[in-house]
Amino acid sequence: MRDDTIVSGLQRLEAWLVTGSQHLYGAEVLGLVDEHARDIATSLDVSPDVPVRIVAKPVVPTAEAIATVLREADAAPECVGVIAWMHTFSPAKMWIAGLSSLRKPLVHLHTQFNRDLPWGEIDMDFMNLNQSAHGDREFGFLATRLRVGRKTIAGHWRDPEVARRLGWWTRAAAGWHEAHRLRIARFGDNMRQVAVTEGDKVEAQARFGFAVNGYGVNELTARIDSVPVADVARLVDAYRDAYTVAAELEPGGDRHDELRTAAAIELGLRGFLDDGGFGAFTDTFEDLGSLTQLPGIGVQRLMADGYGFGAEGDWKAAALVRILKVMADGLPGGTSFMEDYTYHLGDPVPEVLGAHMLEVCPSLTSGRPSCEIHPLSIGGRGDPVRLVFDASPGPAIVVGLADLGDRFRLVASAVDLVEPDAPLPQLPVARAVWRPRPDLATAAEAWLTAGGPHHTALTSALGIEPLEDFARIADVELVSTDETTTRAGFERELRWNAPYYYLARRP
């Protein structure tokens, strides 16, 4: 059982600042380099934009020291990646052994300890110490020569933009860290005949690290049947505290028993996931065993607690939701399983109405959801209890993961969540309304041309930069649309990417 199945803060994770140098300059200069590296690490560590701890490692002046600290970074369970900086000149042949074996994510921080040139006083001592302008070029050459994928961030270390961009990278590295420990439980298989939710689970584990395994739904229903009555009563009280519960579901209401059933399903699911150390799960309405409702409110609340979820057996969507929730930990906004459900193609602006049968995460709303029960025509079970709300407005990204057969492709769309044009009093599910950038037609044509899925993760907590960082770390293609996208440019990118990823593929 893992103690942090839910999102529990990125503060327990670290990124290591590794500062290169050499013995040429003498002990005094190396001492200063060490001190300055600690100052930079402390400054980045306390930045509110950097969620993990930034730990300065002692300056590495030799090839042996470099190889040792990078080996230690690979082995340290709390270390999500390495920040490399060359305060002085570190002849980069010394980095060949270390960088060749490094498996953790790498960011090259191209900064200089002194922000300003002391124009009137500059002498060769200053020049001797502040050499990153060429020291980092030596490192960049070697990393490129070795084909080491990395993010490069240039700017003074006290510049908030540098901290922000490093912070995004640490979030992506934390997502990568999570991907390698993530276990996904599938109750039932994929929805029959559906193509895009299929995929190569072996290749996914080799590429991303997460393990996907199936369980009979009756193992889940047995867990639900063993939920103590007192626990159900406590959870019903929690529902009544957090949501506006429909009168028919309230104690004494005609349908209160169905609320209790939904609560038992949530408790059974949660217990199953926690006992098995699962951070994400899927279900399918085609294989519900003796479940009397398709899980609705339980799935929604588990997502709100940080679990990944995919409907209809969609383990790729479940993995994405979990990984993005970890990357977004502590940020305002929410992250949910989502489906492009239906369109408004009229005035004033074409929009997407995103929803699902039930399973949208309430982290997307700052409002108070209502807890309701309505019929569901598919699944062949009783009416499911669900939370109903509108997603709060603001910028967001929609992200899908497709298995193209020879490789994975991430597809992303920058969107603006908006208030619905009018109330939706007859729609009995949670929903999000958004306007894709640059417009619905361009974004939808790009998405379809890229083969992006209909199941996605929607997050209003992250922009595109941390997703780009994640894709670079994973060495997976990412194509995205935003306000700068043109149809012709997007199509060219897909065409050019095809030979690139063919040539760059692993043996």
Q: How far is the CB of 400 from Mn ion (least distance, A)?
A: 12
User: Is-contact 483 489, C-beta < 8 A?
Assistant: no
Interatomic CA distance for residues 276 and 389, integer angstroms: 31
Q: How far is the CB of 482 from Mn ion (least distance, A)?
A: 25
Q: List binders of Mn ion among 276-305 (CB under 5 A).
A: none
Name the residue nearer to Mn ion (CB basis): 156 or 454: 454
Q: How far is the CB of 312 from Mn ion (least distance, A)?
A: 5
Q: How far is the CB of 353 from Mn ion (least distance, A)?
A: 14
Q: How far is the CB of 112 from Mn ion (least distance, A)?
A: 51
Q: How far is the CB of 300 from Mn ion (least distance, A)?
A: 15
Q: How far is the CB of 313 from Mn ion (least distance, A)?
A: 10
Name the residue nearer to Mn ion (CB basis): 273 or 311: 311
Q: Tokens representing 393?
A: 């407005």
Long-range contacts made by residues 274-277, C-beta under 8 angstroms, separation at least 24? 274/1, 274/5, 275/1, 275/223, 276/1, 276/183, 276/185, 277/1, 277/2, 277/5, 277/183
User: Is-contact 315 187, C-beta < 8 A?
Assistant: no
Name the residue nearer to Mn ion (CB basis): 396 or 429: 429
User: Is-contact 61 110, C-beta < 8 A?
Assistant: no
User: Is-contact 94 137, C-beta < 8 A?
Assistant: no
Name the residue nearer to Mn ion (CB basis): 339 or 469: 339
Q: List binders of Mn ion among 332-351 (CB under 5 A).
A: 339
Kindly report the number of other CB atoms within 10 A of residue 112's CB atom: 21
DSSP character at residue 20:
B
Interatomic CA distance for residues 19 and 55, integer angstroms: 11
Q: What is the DSSP string of 437-460?
A: SS-HHHHHHHHHHHT--SEEEEES
Q: List binders of Mn ion among 207-266 (CB under 5 A).
A: none
User: Is-contact 315 184, C-beta < 8 A?
Assistant: yes
For the sheet with 14-19, list strands across it.
Answer: 53-56, 14-19, 79-85, 106-110, 151-154
Q: Tokens representing 254?
A: 């005609």
Which part of the chain contacts Mn ion (CB under 5 A), choosing from 180-188, 277-285, 307-315, 411-419? 307-315
- C-alpha distances (whole Å) from 217 to each of 198, 265, 456, 492 are 19, 12, 24, 45
Size of the site for Mn ion (CB under 5 A): 3
Q: Tokens representing 317?
A: 């969507």
Q: How far is the CB of 455 from Mn ion (least distance, A)?
A: 6
Name the residue nearer to Mn ion (CB basis): 339 or 372: 339
Q: Tokens representing 368?
A: 């108070």
Name the residue nearer to Mn ion (CB basis): 311 or 399: 311
Q: How far is the CB of 356 from Mn ion (least distance, A)?
A: 6
Q: Tokens representing 77?
A: 């369970």
CA atoms within 13 A on the CB side of 305: 17
Interatomic CA distance for residues 291 and 165, integer angstroms: 46
Which part of the chain contacts Mn ion (CB under 5 A), choosing from 41-49, 57-65, 308-316, 464-472? 308-316
Name the residue nearer to Mn ion (CB basis): 51 or 453: 453
Q: How far is the CB of 251 from Mn ion (least distance, A)?
A: 33
Name the residue nearer to Mn ion (CB basis): 59 or 311: 311
Q: How far is the CB of 227 from Mn ion (least distance, A)?
A: 27
- C-alpha distances (whole Å) from 190 to each of 196, 197, 293, 311, 340 are 10, 7, 18, 9, 18
Name the residue nearer to Mn ion (CB basis): 58 or 451: 451
Where does residue 161 rank: exposed (0-12), middle (13-18), buried (19+ CB within 10 A)?
A: exposed
Name the residue nearer to Mn ion (CB basis): 312 or 390: 312
Q: How far is the CB of 452 from Mn ion (least distance, A)?
A: 14
Binding mask 53-92 for Mn ion (x = CB under 5 A): ----------------------------------------
Name the residue nearer to Mn ion (CB basis): 16 or 307: 307
User: Is-contact 28 60, C-beta < 8 A?
Assistant: no
Q: How far is the CB of 439 from Mn ion (least distance, A)?
A: 25
Name the residue nearer to Mn ion (CB basis): 73 or 311: 311
Name the residue nearer to Mn ion (CB basis): 194 or 222: 194
Interatomic CA distance for residues 358 and 400, integer angstroms: 19
- Given the rule CB under 5 A, which residues bind Mn ion? 311-312, 339
